[in-house]
Chains A and B, each alone.
Chain A
Amino acid sequence: MGDIPEGFEEFVATASPRLLRTAFLLTRDEGHAEDLLQTALARAWRAWGRVDGDPEPYVRRIIVNTHATWWRRRWRGEEPTERLPDRPSGAPQDVVGDREWLWQALGRLPRKQRAVLVLRFYEDLTEAQTAELMGCSVGTVKSQVSRALAKLRLDDTFAAEGVWR
């Protein structure tokens, strides 16, 4: 096997903890997050010589796009006919319960919608940056954010079923 590319080891040491957080928010499982991160880093290794500028956005893009196309490991929880869990019946000031519900509800979103929320509201990327990273238009990002937030807002079925195109 060839030598490790120049600068790759330092990149893993400094950037991978941040990238792991993104991977975890997408996968919601420590094992899957590490698996996804290593998969992305291995792909970046092979393309290292072609990476121009800061490699972190490049690897983040691989993480997001790889996650979007992986076999859906918990498809039952992600398919569009399933209803989100009931909101806990606590008082309005039950902030902990609300946030736990929100975390669970995030896990039920389709992958692309979850990814767009992570990039917009955790990574704090702009709509244009999110669109570039996901390889789609700004309009698609806005639409995905809107749909994701609508689904979180509803506590329940957003779309009655999928539309196959």
Chain B
Amino acid sequence: MNLSDLTEVLRDHAPRADAQVTARLAGVRARVAASRRRRAVGAAACVVLALVGVVYAVVPRAERSSEPATPERSFPEYQAGTRLAAQAWAELPSSSVVLRFVPKSLDFKVFVRCDIGQGVDLPMKLVIDGDEVLAGGCGTASGSSDWGTRGAEVGKPVVVTLTVGDEAVDHSRPSSPVTMPRPSSGAFGIAVGEAVPVDRYPFPPRPETLAEMPPPLTDPTFVVSADPADPDSPREFSIAWPGERFLHAQVNTPGRVRVLVNDVLVTDFFSWDYGIAGTQSMSSKDWGRVHGIAVAAGDPVRITVIPERLSGDWRVWLGEY
């Protein structure tokens, strides 16, 4: 793929004919009128919302301890470089689930999973120790943060709350989505996984064939690949810096790859599964501010690649994007 392919794909898919201008204007007119009606009843709506808030506060919510008794649904024991430490689930039509856990370290991830009908969009909100960290349609997500700056401490309980909305939207027919009450069946859960060092993490079974590495999108300035005889051996190169670039790393097996520029760590990437995965650094223009190294066009620069537990192909390169 190149950039002209991208432009052509976008042009090919943009609709050409559009004969709905009159209907569109009527639709806009209706929306403006509806908006004015909504504003007219705004004060009354505030009162109703206050009442709803009171009702919501007294409705019992699903809440479980950090070590539930063998839940029917479960997150995997190992995922994304972590081992499951705690999980909690709620069955619909409950509106929320709360997980309390005591971190043994601040290197943990939070996972969300919603098992609801296909094509049903149920709004959800994830709150950790009072901070909303994620909002959107209920699905599958995971994330981490600099927990210490959020006030988390080792040994101090952390409270994770997942709340789903009262209304869902059925998008099984995308051209005519239907609003409906929150589904009465299905479940949603949250989990916490504690980081496992890459040298102790159980990788999944190796597939018979590994994914083939795709070519870089744009012509790279500098490329270094794995030594097929020893994919885990470090590599070091010196180059004249080509100017503003992004540093890319790509792997097709689980493991870790670190890239140092003039002995400063710029990329530290982990993959926990087989398949193509990768990352790219921020622009080298920002490395001075973030990493404390400044590289200008023409400077002699040493690049060191340190793979760890990589068993297939990997590639590190510099690209204009």
Q: Which residues of A contact B (CB under 8 A)?
A: 1, 4, 9, 12-13, 16-17, 20-22, 24-25, 29-34, 37-39, 41-42, 45-46, 71-76, 79-83, 87, 98-99, 102-103, 106, 117-118, 121-122, 139, 142-143, 145-147, 149-150, 152-165
Assess the B175–A30 pair: CB atoms within 8 A. Answer: yes
Assess the B275–A157 pair: CB atoms within 8 A. Answer: yes
Main secondary structure of the interface of A (DSSP, over half): helix
Q: Which of A9, A46, A154 neighbours the largest number of chain B CB atoms within 10 Å of its CB?
A: A154
Assuming the A-B contacts A160-B80, A162-B141, are A154 and B14 also in contact, with contact meaning beta carbons closer than 8 angstroms in the complex?
no
Chain B residues in 8 Å Cβ range of A33: 15
Assess the A99–B12 pair: CB atoms within 8 A. Answer: yes
Assess the A121–B280 pair: CB atoms within 8 A. Answer: no
Closest Cβ of chain A to B144, distance in Å, is: 6
Assess the B3–A121 pair: CB atoms within 8 A. Answer: yes
Q: A22-B14, A38-B31 are in contact. List 4 more A-B contacts (CB 8 A).
A: A34-B24, A76-B139, A153-B214, A155-B211
Assuming the A-B contacts A99-B8, A122-B10, are A150 and B280 also in contact, with contact meaning beta carbons closer than 8 angstroms in the complex?
yes
Q: Which residues of B contact A (CB under 8 A)?
A: 1, 3, 5-15, 18, 20-21, 24-25, 27-29, 31-33, 35-36, 80-81, 109, 121, 123, 128, 133-134, 136-145, 169, 171, 174-177, 211, 214, 216-218, 246, 248, 250, 270-272, 275-280, 282-283, 285-286, 321
Assess the A12–B32 pair: CB atoms within 8 A. Answer: no
Assess the A150–B278 pair: CB atoms within 8 A. Answer: yes
Assess the B32–A46 pair: CB atoms within 8 A. Answer: yes
Assess the A79–B5 pair: CB atoms within 8 A. Answer: no
Assess the B31–A81 pair: CB atoms within 8 A. Answer: no
A82-B139 Cα distance, complex, nearest whole Å:
11
A102-B33 Cα distance, complex, nearest whole Å:
40
CB-CB nearest in chain A for B272: A160
Assess the A71–B136 pair: CB atoms within 8 A. Answer: yes
Chain B residues in 8 Å Cβ range of A164: 128, 133-134, 143-145
Assess the B12–A139 pair: CB atoms within 8 A. Answer: no
A76-B139 Cα distance, complex, nearest whole Å:
5
Closest Cβ of chain A to B77, distance in Å, is: 17
Among B9, B18, B279, contact of A17 (Cβ-Cβ < 8 Å): B18
Chain A residues in 8 Å Cβ range of B282: 143
Among A37, A79, A122, contact of B24 (Cβ-Cβ < 8 Å): A37
Closest Cβ of chain A to B126, distance in Å, is: 8
A44-B75 Cα distance, complex, nearest whole Å:
46
Closest Cβ of chain A to B276, distance in Å, is: 4
Assuming the A-B contacts A160-B270, A161-B144, A164-B144, are A31 and B175 also in contact, with contact meaning beta carbons closer than 8 angstroms in the complex?
yes
Closest Cβ of chain B to A19, distance in Å, is: 10
Chain A residues in 8 Å Cβ range of B211: 155-156
Among A1, A34, A72, A145, contact of B36 (Cβ-Cβ < 8 Å): A1
CB-CB nearest in chain A for B34: A42
Assess the A143–B174 pair: CB atoms within 8 A. Answer: no
A17-B15 Cα distance, complex, nearest whole Å:
9
Assess the A39–B175 pair: CB atoms within 8 A. Answer: no
A42-B37 Cα distance, complex, nearest whole Å:
14
Assess the A16–B21 pair: CB atoms within 8 A. Answer: yes
Among B9, B121, B214, B283, contact of A155 (Cβ-Cβ < 8 Å): B214
